[in-house]
Amino acid sequence: MQQPELAGRIALVTGAGQGIGEAVARTLADRGARVAAIDRNAEGITLLEKEYGAARIVAHTADVTDSAAIDAVVDTVEAAIGPIGILVNVAGVLRPSRVADLTDQDWNDTFAVNTTGVFHTCRAVTRLMSERRSGCVVTVGSNAAGVPRTSMAAYAASKAAATMFTKCLGLELARSGVRCNVVSPGSTDTAMQRQLWTDPQAPLRVIDGDPASYRVGIPLGRIAEPSDIAEAVAFLVSDRARHITMHDLYVDGGATLRA
C-alpha cells in the first residue's frame, strides 16, 4: 500500500483556526503530515485537534505578532514532535478603509500580522531548516499584492511586503535546499471575504467585476473555496515541486489577467 504523499513530514501552519488556514491544516493532515496548528484564537484549532486527534493535528495557541511566543511554539514542536519540514504562513487580517480614513492602529495591526508575523515564523523555523538542509515554506499572500485595490491599501501593501520577503528568503536559503514560495489567492469564500459583502448581490459583483472600483471580475465565474488554495499549497510543499522556489502562484480564477 502506497504511503500518503506527506507521510512522516511535520508541518507548522499559522492562522489554522478558520478559512484558508484551516483548509491547509486539514489538507496536509489528510496527506499524511503531522500538523502543528497555530492560531491566536484557541477555539478553531482545538476543534481540529479533537476531530483529527493529537497524533495528526496538535493545537498551539499563539499570536504571530509575538516573536517570543512563536519561538516557544517552534521549540515545543521540535522537542515534542520532531523537525519541522513544512511552514505555511496563513495568519492574516484585513481592515478595509480608504487611506484618508485609515487609522494608525489599523495600519500597524495589519503589518504586524500580515508581514511581521511572517518574519517571526520564518526566522524561527528556517534557521533550523537551513541547518538540516531541507524544508519548504509557503506564504499565503494575495493577488491584491500585485493589483491595486480601493479601500485595501494597507492589506495590499502588507501582502506585497510579505511576498517579497518570502522571495528574498528563498534566495538566501536556496543553496541549503530550503524552498520558499508564495500562493496568492483571489476572492475566496472565507469570513474575511464575507466581511466585505454588504448585500446579497455582493458575490455576483465579485464574479462579474465592478467598474466603479476599477476591478475586473473572475473569468472562471466562481469564487474560490479555501480548499482550492490549500491544494496549491499542498503541491508546493510536496516533492512534486522540488525544483520550484521563489515562485508566486496566483490562484484567483484569472481575476488579475496575469500574463
Provide the pLDDT for residue 191.
77
Q: Report the length, in residues, of the chain.
A: 259
Say if 201 falls within a structural domain. no
Say if 141 falls within a structural domain. yes
- Model's pTM, two decimal places? 0.96
Tens-digit pLDDT profile for the chain (259 aa)?
A: 789 999 999 999 999 999 999 999 999 999 999 999 999 999 999 999 999 999 999 999 999 999 999 999 999 999 999 999 999 999 999 999 999 999 999 999 999 999 999 999 999 999 999 999 999 999 999 999 999 999 999 999 999 999 999 999 999 999 999 999 999 999 998 877 777 777 777 777 778 888 888 888 999 999 999 999 999 999 999 999 999 999 999 999 999 997 4
CATH of the domain at 176: 3.40.50.720
Say if 176 falls within a structural domain. yes
Strands (E), 86-240: 86-89, 135-140, 178-185
Name the nearest CA neighbour of 152 among 142, 164, 165: 142
| Alpha carbon distance 70, 124 (integer Å) | 7
Name the nearest CA neighbour of 53 among 76, 30, 75: 30
Say if 257 falls within a structural domain. no
Number of domains in the chain: 1
Say if 196 falls within a structural domain. no
- What residues act catalytically? 155
DSSP track, 54-104: TTTEEEEE--TT-HHHHHHHHHHHHHHT----EEEE-------B-GGG--H
Provide the pLDDT for residue 198.
73
| Alpha carbon distance 27, 6 (integer Å) | 10
Provide the pLDDT for residue 183.
98
User: Which helix H or strand E contains 38, and what residues bound it?
Assistant: strand 34-39
Strands (E), 90-190: 135-140, 178-185
| Alpha carbon distance 30, 139 (integer Å) | 20
Provide the pLDDT for residue 208.
86
- At what angle are helices 42-52 and 19-30 packed, to 10 degrees? 20
Provide the pLDDT for residue 35.
98
For residue range 28-74, list pLDDT tens digits in order: 999 999 999 999 999 999 999 999 999 999 999 999 999 999 999 99
Residue with cell 500585485: 146
Say if 142 falls within a structural domain. yes
Q: Which domain holds residue 89?
A: 10-188+226-251
Provide the pLDDT for residue 199.
74
Say if 221 falls within a structural domain. no
Provide the pLDDT for residue 99.
98
Say if 256 falls within a structural domain. no
